[in-house]
Chain A
Amino acid sequence: MPLTMVKEGEPNTIKRVGGKEETRRFLENLGFVPGGVVTVVNQIGGNMIVNVKDSRVAIGKDMANKIMV
């Protein structure tokens, strides 16, 4: 399911990262790789703050929708 559906505070394993090539690369460089663990810290209207590889990353709704966990 997309990351936007995940409950706050629950660790999840990334299955796939979709989206345009450029953005996907950027996400991969930031640590969003399949197999990595991601935890949602907070979300406002779909935009969310997540914890990935010990760093806090804010991502927009459209992007979060493309991260499958």
Chain B
Amino acid sequence: MSVKIALAGNPNCGKTTLFNALTGSNQFVGNWPGVTVEKKEGKLKGHKDVTIMDLPGIYSLSPYTLEEVVARNYLINERPDAIINIIDGTNIERNLYLSTQIMELGIPVIMAVNMMDLVEKNGDKVYIDKLSQKLGCEVVEISALKGTGIQKAAEKAVGLAQSGRKAEIVHAFNPKVEDVIANVAAKLGSDVAEEQKRFFAIKLLEKDDKIKEQMKSVPDVSVEIKQLEDEFDDDTESIITNERYVYISNIIGGCVAKNDKRTMSVSDKIDRVVTNRWLALPIFAVVMFIVYYVSITTVGGFLTDWTNDVLFGEIIPPAIQSGLDAIGCAAWLEGLILDGIVAGVGAVLGFVPQMLVLFIFLAFLESCGYMARVAFIMDRIFRKFGLSGKSFIPMLIGSGCGVPGIMASRTIENDRDRKMTIMTTTFVPCGAKLPIIAMIAGAFFGNSGWVATSAYFVGIAAIICSGIILKKTKIFAGDPAPFVMELPAYHWPTVGNVLRSMWERGWSFIKKAGTIILLSTIILWFLMSFGWEGGSFGMVEELNESILAKIGTAIAWIFAPLGWTQAGEGWKMAVAAVTGLIAKENVVATFGMLYGFAEVAEDGSEIWGNLAAAMTPIAAYGFLVFNLLCAPCFAAMGAIKREMNNTRWFFIAIGYQCLLAYVVALCIFQIGTLFTTGAFGVGTVVAFIMIVAFIYLLFRPYKESETLDVNLKKAV
């Protein structure tokens, strides 16, 4: 008989660690709340017919966050055969609050008290038999990290699921509340199973609209609600929340013995320092500096140089070439493989070492618990321009790669804040934009360091200005959601966990190289190598005759106001920018191919001369900014689409990004040109109008919010 077991518990109580231990799978475990936003499935080790479901961490079964809705819909609609309710042993009281709700679902429950090793170290004691008696389910002690007791917990859960023994509800509220619940339960029709009646009755009393939608018939319970609210002088939801906590505080004394002598915990001591009023920001700046210094310039830079210059410069291309020569490969196919595939994909894979180093650092910061503090520290600053501190983490991860960055925005509960974060995260220069920066800096500005620095400032300025401007539009009006976030205890991350996260994120990047970029380089090569020459279609000698040149010429006028077309080679810039939409790594590679180099270095140093002849430095800087701000690569756009989960919002996000990129690039070129050459024209006037409009949008008063209490219930 196949059995489904769900893992449920508070955020950060060790569900995913237990899931990995039970199924032998490799999910990343982060030490901040909300790492698992989707449910994940796996098979119990040694039992092919037992499915384990890892649910997102939740504090209750109310409908206030995305995670709670995902978890509870699964529990109500799919009805697993058993639930393992994981409890953080160091924080039993709060964890039991959810347990009292899970018990009401009418599904067999087994309670696993996790982190027993820490509990013992603290000198505390948990009496599991008492706990079991007071909550009406079996209780086992486990340590998911050390692997103790987990097999026992799993076996008990399987046994329970097979026996189908439902959970008995032992906990009881105030008799008056119990009476009302019983009255409502009696009103429920036969379409609600007997053991679920209490759950639905309570949800109806709590005026939970989402539950009402799922019920076939909804009895009218307004009389009961009024009766309770009059009696307790509070709203029903608070009354029930309170009743749960009252019950827990009554039983907790008998179930847990706390070591009174314990002074401030280590985590509190660390927090005193790293979130200190004066030291918090300097410490954060130092940490970030070390992360980027090591991953971009030293270790990561060394590895990337080696991959680009040696592996994809001296080793692979000659080897492939001699191999192809040996089998007498046709010249066009050799061109496709060497100039197209190896050059294009190689340019992307060259970044992998650098990104892996960055991902190791980020994974370490995440799993030790510092990242959650960063959100707290940054909140004060981010709030000033309408974002929440939680938006910072997606942006930080986005500096490595936008795709995981956009995905990390899921931990933001407020729908508006999340959408805004998704729209602005990719303004941060990601790893793939670095070569464009290096190319422009090298070709036009004598490799000056300020180009790269300014690129980050442009990104940050774009985020800040977008935050302010968007906040003043109708669709985003309203205060950012108040900051509330549980801070996990600090702990040393396990090596496996850090490596796992690095690999997961790195692999999605490598996969991109193997799929989208591979395909786009082939298509690009085809468009570039074929065309109409001398009246017939075929391979072209002259690049200007290719299909690509035709397409580029057709769209180049769009970019004329940005100064890309000055030397009559605007189509090359246009093509490069368009291929940048497929993957930013393509931009340099495209220039390489367009200027006839089979293989260019990461920063495209071979083509610097050609480029410098084609554009003025100001237009080039505009080109750089355009590529930094416009819609990100296909993979990231896919992520935006997935996370927005709404086609209209997807186009709003992409449209906004492209428009902003175009306007900023236009202003840079037109006004820069005015200052350097004194040339004044229609474009300059347009640029000034744009700037005035921009300043107006930035400084106009905040709109009175019509959607101040945007409700997650509606948004989900």
Residues in chain A within 8 A of chain B (CB atoms):
19-31, 33-36, 41-45, 47, 49, 51-60, 62-63
Instruction: Report how far A53 CA is from B376 CA in the complex, Å.
Output: 20
* Least Cβ–Cβ distance between B566 and chain A, in angstroms: 50
Instruction: Report how far A30 CA is from B93 CA in the complex, Å.
Output: 10
Assess whether B711 is in contact with A54, with CB atoms less than 8 Å apart. no
Chain A residues, Cβ within 8 Å of B484: 23, 26-27, 30, 57-60, 63
Closest A residue by C-beta to B256: A54
Q: Is B486 an interface residue (CB 8 A)?
A: yes
Instruction: Report how far A33 CA is from B242 CA in the complex, Å.
Output: 7
- Which 8 pairs between the two chains have the least Cβ-Cβ distance? A60-B483, A63-B482, A58-B376, A29-B59, A29-B60, A53-B94, A56-B487, A54-B91
Chain A residues, Cβ within 8 Å of B245: 31, 33, 35-36
Binds A, one of B274-282, B348-356, B595-603, B661-669: B274-282
Interface residues as binary, B261-282 with A (CB distance below 8 Å gives 1, 0 otherwise):
0000001100110011100100
Assess whether B93 is in contact with A53, with CB atoms less than 8 Å apart. yes
Q: Is the interface of B mostly helix, strand, loop or mixed?
A: helix
Chain A residues, Cβ within 8 Å of B91: 53-55
Q: Is the interface of A mostly helix, strand, loop or mixed?
A: mixed
Q: Is B612 an interface residue (CB 8 A)?
A: no
Residues in chain B within 8 A of chain A (CB atoms):
59-60, 62, 64-65, 90-94, 97, 237-238, 241-242, 245, 267-268, 271-272, 275-277, 280, 372-373, 375-377, 379-380, 383, 413, 479, 481-489, 709, 711-712
Instruction: Report how far A10 CA is from B226 CA in the complex, Å.
Output: 38
Chain B residues, Cβ within 8 Å of A30: 59, 94, 484, 486
Assess whether B93 is in contact with A31, with CB atoms less than 8 Å apart. yes
Closest B residue by C-beta to A23: B482
Instruction: Report how far A66 CA is from B483 CA in the complex, Å.
Output: 13
In this complex, the member of B237, B277, B373, B484 whose beta carbon has the largest number of chain A beta carbons within 10 angstroms is B484
* Least Cβ–Cβ distance between A3 and chain B, in angstroms: 13
Closest B residue by C-beta to A19: B482
Assess whether A55 is in contact with B241, with CB atoms less than 8 Å apart. no
Q: Other than A33-B242, A63-B483, give 18 A-B pairs with Cβ distance below 8 A.
A: A19-B482, A22-B712, A25-B241, A30-B59, A30-B484, A30-B486, A31-B94, A31-B245, A35-B245, A41-B272, A42-B271, A43-B277, A44-B276, A49-B376, A56-B487, A57-B485, A58-B485, A58-B487
Instruction: Report how far A27 CA is from B481 CA in the complex, Å.
Output: 13
Assess whether A45 is in contact with B242, with CB atoms less than 8 Å apart. no
* Least Cβ–Cβ distance between B268 and chain A, in angstroms: 5
Instruction: Knowing A22-B64, A29-B59, A56-B487, say if A44 contacts B377 (CB, 8 Å).
Output: yes
User: What are some 20 contacts across the A-B interface (CB < 8 A)?
Assistant: A20-B709, A21-B709, A29-B59, A29-B62, A29-B241, A42-B271, A42-B275, A44-B280, A44-B377, A45-B380, A47-B376, A49-B271, A49-B376, A53-B91, A53-B93, A56-B486, A56-B489, A57-B486, A58-B485, A60-B483
Closest A residue by C-beta to B276: A42
Instruction: Report how far A30 CA is from B487 CA in the complex, Å.
Output: 12
